[in-house]
Chains A and B, each alone.
Chain A
Amino acid sequence: MTAVIDKPVEPVKSVRQPGRWAAPPRPTWEEEPSRAGLAGKGLVLTLACLGILFPLWIVLVTSLSSRKTIDQAGGLVMVPKGITFVAYKELLSGGQVTRAAVISVLITVVGTAFSMTVSVLCAYGLSRIGSLGHRWILMLLLATMFFSAGLIPTYLLVQSLGLTDSYLALILPSALSVFNILVLRGFFMGIPQELVDSARIDGASDFRILWQVVMPLSRAVLAVITLFYAVGYWSAWFNASLYLNDQDMMPLQNVMIQLVQKQEAPVGLGQAIKTGELSGLAVQMAVMVMALLPVAVLSPFVQRHFKKGMLTGAVKG
């Protein structure tokens, strides 16, 4: 490392290996940052991050608190005093919330697999410049970004297709995002044509080229788009409220609306909450943690690919 320093070189007091948190050397023309500037930037950034983490911390801690701790704090708990998993145990021992969580997981897995299959196939089918009709199909897709048919006509259509009270109504109408298809297509188009051609000369079909050449080279963007679709299915509640009538079929988000927003007790746990074994507040928080945990755990792993994924989203003709 040959960092150029324009101050007189002081004798090295302690030999510190540049840690993983250390700053890389600055270019010579750049001024040394002032202490006040650094402090100000650090403060703003810390506040922004705390503004996001603090509410989540409270939710997590309260969900892990006993009824006694919650009563002592007069509601939400900021500092944990003893951890108990009683709220989670009750919620996950069968009953309304367990069922809703299983339903949400299944819809997310099946829906994401379906959306990814259709989107990847379509993106590959449109990725060859000059193929027959690709411009027309592209226009067909792009135009949907400019208009929406409207809530009522869509509702009437789904209803007349006989999809009400079926989980298909939660998957099919919102299965595709044109934006995601375009991002995938942009990425596929960036794969060197020579690779595709040589596979073709070796006799590979389009399906095989997609599976064995194109997809292995596109892991980053595939991860990002899978996350986008999965989060979409996991977070969805509106279609369920629109097309499902049976309360037992509702996914987790809809159950969360009932429990947290409308402050209802989960079916079967009302007695336990009234008699004082279980805190209603801890139950609410536990449901919220169940809804946020999968997303919070998975999204940071995909984070480093976000920029790449978004950048290739630029529409190429």
Chain B
Amino acid sequence: MGATSRRRLAAVALVAATALLASTGCAGDDAAEDGPITLTVDVFGQFGYEELYKEYMASHPDVKIVERGTGGNLDEYSPKLTQWLAAGKGAGDVVAIEEGLLVEYKANPGNFVNLLDHGAAELKGNFLDWKWNGGLTADGKQLIGLGTDVGGMAMCYRKDLFAKAGLPTDRDAVSKLWPTWQDYITVGEKFKAANTGAAFLDAATNTFNTIVLQTAGNTTGYHYYDTGDNLVVDSNPAVKQAWDTTMDIIGSGLSGKYGAWSEEWVSAFKQAKFATIACPAWMTGVIEGNAGAAAKGKWDIAQVPGNGGNWGGSYLAVPKQSKHQAEAIELAKFLTSAKGQIGAFKAKGPLPSSPQALDDPAITGSTNAYFSDAPVGQIFAAGAKNLKPVYMGPKNQAVRTEVENAVRTVELGQRTPDQGWTDAVTNAKKAAAK
């Protein structure tokens, strides 16, 4: 047990040491400007940039692009990126930042290049207003990131399981089944009564997150923090309403309790162990990746119960530590342009945040073969321009973790709904104070 564990302690200390070394400016600048420069792009999940890189490299022979992190988990990517930034070394020249993490980075914008200093201001019209504003610091003086995608919402479902349960399988008919979440529960109860051997939904935490973002978007415009950055978990009716609806779903026994993003969750996709999953646009790529080629044509996409909502979406930023800032900014602009966003959507499904791209026939007319040729362009793009975003406060990620964990404990039967709510509120307060 000895060597590895001692090294572990040393590793933690090393991070601290590296940070110090870097801040005293030991990092030597190598000015080898001869050959083509290499730009590293750090991403997580599926951004769908491969073809765009090829195109960019063809028109910029002096640039070579290397991507890191494709298919990776956001929970592993975020701390890594933060460590790189803290250490002053290691981050890519262009880094993807999920919106939940970006709000935390805004407190220390000095880690990133101010894109407004590099002619980004004229790009404002290329993005949905709220997406553009999301990349700005609170005082509006620094633009940290350019928007990539937004997370317009739908409900993905398995046609074969629906047929087995005697439910309609046509996407329009399915959409009509659940105008509200209560209707969704009713359908779920029917599905459950049919004993298909599968659960109705994957994990209550995913459904909760969908409902809370939707409810908050439609009512208050914020969920865990109000726009003055006060923690309002216990007083925001949107949060409590979403909580109660989720408790009804759990109480009806509809959840398969597969911890979201866990190995079991992935296995459950493969073995068709649940029939529906709340489906932000980027989730379609995840489903395809997890369920695999064997399930092609068995999935389809319907409207989400309730109305609209946005979950997730990312930005591209250029860390100050990049040695090729100008070239990196150029690349980030290209990838987030309407053209870049359309390319990404076609490859892996992240929904564009550019109004021009959303209007483009390439998007509006697009279908997804994996999801039974569902008109994904229509389903997602139609609602995207009217998306009502949800404001996120400084400790959003930590607070969200606590609330979702409370949902999970109720789902697993470790806590009653009331106990779970008490836990959610106290733990969220504790996390916010840390």
Genuine A/B complex: no
Q: Could you tell me which A residues sit within 8 Å of B by CB distance?
A: none
